[in-house]
Amino acid sequence: MARRPHWWCWTPGSQSSRVRRASAAATACRWGMPTSSFTLSLTGTASRAPQSCASNCAAHARPRTSPSSWWGTKPTWCGAVRCPKKNSSEMPETITSRDAARFPIVASCTLLGLYLFFKIFSQEYINLLLSMYFFVLGILALSHTISPMMNRFFPANFPNKQYQLLFTQGSGESKEEIVNYEFDTKDLVCLALSSVVGVWYLLRKHWIANNLFGLAFSLNGVELLHLNNVSTGCILLGGLFIYDVFWVFGTNVMVTVAKSFEAPIKLVFPQDLLEKGLDADNFAMLGLGDIVIPGIFIALLLRFDISLKKNTHTYFYTSFVAYIFGLGLTIFIMHIFKHAQPALLYLVPACIGFPLLVALAKGEVTEMFSYEESSTPKEVPGASKEEPTEASKKEK
């Protein structure tokens, strides 16, 4: 049964339309623009925010080491482990090498467009529209994220009824489905709980509500955006490495846009939590792009580990440790130079270099770069193993 709204689902189409969808999803992942299949918002700069969560980060404020940066490891791990089985209702959006090469160019155009948009139009009205947009989007993303966890808390005798939301166009043989979404009572409960968080965020812009939405966006991004091979991952990370460095160090465009956005496009953590409690207003920040972009590469290495059939996940654990190392290095450099840093400047060399060194040591470089995504469902660490069906035995 499909438990995912229409806008979460991948739909097959022509080669050109599939490339457009993948490119749009990748662009959306970077700057929060709507797409037909998946939408995520994020910022590519790690910096410190001296005001409230609803207000914006100061580019040159003095950064401090913050647990918010380590929060970025949680959706990276969980999103990789929760990569969906590839069936008709949960096919992820696959980024090809062509899409990866276009990514920095399209993202740069989008970033520059947003910069000009904030310069020309009133920031107040733009952020009002953004708040309503992310209110709806955040509720759906958070509902999808907590649904598997919430199912454990429902009693066995819970009256779980099935529903279907169907919109069609035309009649007779020309009838075409626009939306076909199946859900149940448990999904409605999760949606209600997520709506409470959404109203809280809309009214207060509280940092906890911001982080709940941010974690949901980043986890779903890692889960639903896939790279088809390691070469594509290197192209994507390499292109965004240049993109991040240029727009942070070369201009003030990225920092200006990040400061202008009043949306859950980052994870924040209060520096003065002990002094002011939940009313803290001095924040450190980590953009969701610094979670999702390395995260989808780490998830690819997990699937490569599984394809080796050695009952180990060496490359996954290595890349995850490299990600933590890159975040730690970013925090250290921020503390030394007292300036906003493009986190991908440190994350990209770590996430690519560490696994590559392991592959060189194990003599598996050829296997790593020749690995291609297959349509076979994968096992993940901690997931229960199912007995193979007769059909799968015949295929083998």
Is 244 among the catalytic positions? yes
Cα distances (angstroms) measured from residue 362 to each of 9, 309, 349, 365: 38, 15, 20, 8
Are the CB atoms for 296 and 226 separated by under 8 Å? yes
Measure the CA–CA gap between 50 and 39, rounded to whole angstroms. 28
Pairing of strands 283-287, 47-49: antiparallel
Q: What is the CA radius of gyration of the chain?
A: 21
* Active-site residue identified among 99, 184, 279, 290: 290
Is 305 among the catalytic positions? no
| Dihedral over alpha carbons 324, 330, 335, 340 (to 10 degrees) | -140
Cα distances (angstroms) measured from residue 215 to each of 94, 115, 191: 21, 25, 16
* Active-site residue identified among 244, 279, 281, 305: 244
Are the CB atoms for 43 and 114 separated by under 8 Å? no
Token pair of 233 as six digits: 């991952």
Structural element, H or E, at residue 273: helix 273-276
Token pair of 123 as six digits: 């920031």
Are the CB atoms for 72 and 211 separated by under 8 Å? no
Which residue do the tokens 């193979």 mark?
A: 388
Measure the CA–CA gap between 393 and 396, rounded to whole angstroms. 5
Pairing of strands 47-49, 176-184: unpaired
Residues near 127 by beta carbon (within 8 Å), at least 6 away in sequence: 260, 261, 262, 263
Amino acid letter for position 260:
S
Strand, coil or helix: 342: coil
Active site residues: 244, 290
